Amino acid sequence: MKKKRALAAVLSRIRDIVLAPDYIPSSVVPNVIACAAALPATEFSKLLTQLNIEGHTAPYWAIVNNRHHALWAFIHFISGTSPSVSSDLRIACMIINDYSMFKELNFGNYRATECYEALLSEDRRSRCFLGCQPDEIQVYAYDKSIKQFDVVFPIRMFQKRLRTAPDKSLRFEFVAGCDAYGGLASTYQSLAMDHAVPLLVSVRIAIKRVLTLYF
């Protein structure tokens, strides 16, 4: 009973942090620390990653309600994640069309399927081995009235990375106009480029379409 009361009290406090109208950024970190002190570390981490606030996680609501102090305070206490949690946070970024947050959370290197995650992990290892920095996809609004966007893919060490990729492909994700898109770059044999120079790909997309790129 004591454990249940402690969980309920902490959840109520977390709920107030992400949903209450009287949000005070300076009080967030002390409140989160107090919540963490009331529970074992694993229990608090589990609480933060459960869909227990209106069907979503606490970090989801921190993103949707633009409470970044709360988001980063939560993340400090979260040990590990799961596909369902990552999916929840990706949805939050899509809802508010926050590609900057999407990039900060590194969703461009994660997908909520084991197969996709394995491929992306392989690409991360390959980049590390080659001394290659992460790719930074650039998204620009082209015509908001018809929801079109320009997307630039500066793909570093394109050929070298494709040669070591399991299925000879690279995968990318980005957010544009409240939607998430996945990009695929493959068939490096058709390209003749300097390995040290990034491959620059610029495309225009319309919202509600899934982007697939072949090179």
Q: How far apart are CA 177 and CA 168, in angstroms?
A: 30
Domain carrying residue 183 = 122-206
- Mean pLDDT lowest for which of 6-10, 52-56, 70-74, 98-102? 98-102
Choose between 4 and 161: higher pLDDT: 4
Q: If pLDDT is split at 50, 70 and 90, which confidence band does 64 have?
A: very high
Q: How far apart are CA 82 and CA 21, in angstroms?
A: 29
Question: Is 137 found in the same domain as 191?
Answer: yes
Question: Is 61 found in the same domain as 135?
Answer: no
Does a structural domain hold residue 70?
yes
CB half-sphere exposure, 77, CA atoms < 13 A: 27
Does a structural domain hold residue 89?
no
Tally of domains within the chain: 2
Does a structural domain hold residue 56?
yes
Most confident of 47-61, 82-96, 132-146: 47-61
Assess whether pLDDT exceeds 80 at residue 190: no
Q: If pLDDT is split at 50, 70 and 90, which confidence band does 44 have?
A: very high
